Amino acid sequence: MIYAGDFRKGMTFEINGEPHVVLDFQHVKPGKGAAFVRTKYKNILTGATREEAFNPDDKFPKAHIDTRKMQYLYNDGELYYFMDPETYDQVPIQHELVEDAIKFMRENDEAMVKFFQGQPFLVEAENFVNLEVIETEPGVKGNTATNVTKAATVETGAVVQVPIFIETGEKIQIDTRTGEYLGRAK
């Protein structure tokens, strides 16, 4: 059990059987009255944030989040299959849980899959990936203005804004958290 008075940023706890993470907290001791903990927290499953004040003696069960590195295998049309490389167990995951990560993942790529009570709730791609540009407009000769970008489609189907000098067939590095072009792949 966790006391509200022990809250710290990033700590996970349960309310009504759902996992939450502490985003911000402040211990308040007013001149009159009892102390309290002003807390901003986020529901891990739904993403909803909430601000609430708790008594420092309020107890909450600790939410145990299991994070595993898994390998993306394939998509059968509605489910995405991931394999645990240690146990070889395959886990089917719905599109809603992988839609942010899958646009930067190829088959056999690794991802971080987060579980709560044995059920997956979030899939995160590697932070940086190298992908090949399969379609983009050719750069215009003489157009050397700085910060000019164009759309490029990479091998996973994601569309990324790249500088005008990037050509079809080149490998580029992408930050999957923001979807930004970082540079040519080395």
DSSP 8-state code for residue 5:
G
The reply to whether 2-60 and 128-184 are identical in fold is no
What is the homologous superfamily of the domain 65-125 according to CATH?
Answer: Nucleic acid-binding proteins (2.40.50.140)
Model pLDDT for residues 77-123, shown as the tens digit of each residue:
889 999 999 999 999 999 888 988 999 999 999 999 989 888 888 89
Map out the domains of the chain as residue ranges: 2-60, 65-125, 128-184
pTM: 0.74
Mean pLDDT of the chain: 90
Q: What are phi and psi of 100, to 5 degrees?
A: -75, -35
- The pLDDT value recorded for residue 118 is 87
Tell which CATH architecture fits domain 128-184.
Beta Barrel (2.40)
Count Cα atoms within 13 angstroms, Cβ side, for 66. 9
What's residue 112's pLDDT?
A: 93
pLDDT of residue 103: 92
pLDDT at 100: 85
Predicted pLDDT of residue 53: 94
Question: What pLDDT sits at residue 146?
Answer: 67
DSSP secondary structure letters along 61-108 = PBP-EEEEEEEEEEE-SSEEEEE-TTT--EEEEEHHHHHHHHTT--TT
**Distance in angstroms (rounded) separating the CA atoms of residues 140 and 121:** 44
List the structure tokens of 167.
Answer: 């050509």
CATH pick for 2-60 out of 1.20.120.550, 2.30.30.30, 2.60.40.420, 2.30.40.10: 2.30.30.30
**At CA 46, angle to CA 16 and CA 83, rounded to 5?**
105
Low-confidence ranges of the chain (pLDDT < 50): none
pLDDT at residue 93, as a whole number: 92
State how far the Cα of 120 lies from the Cα of 132, in Å rounded to an integer.
29
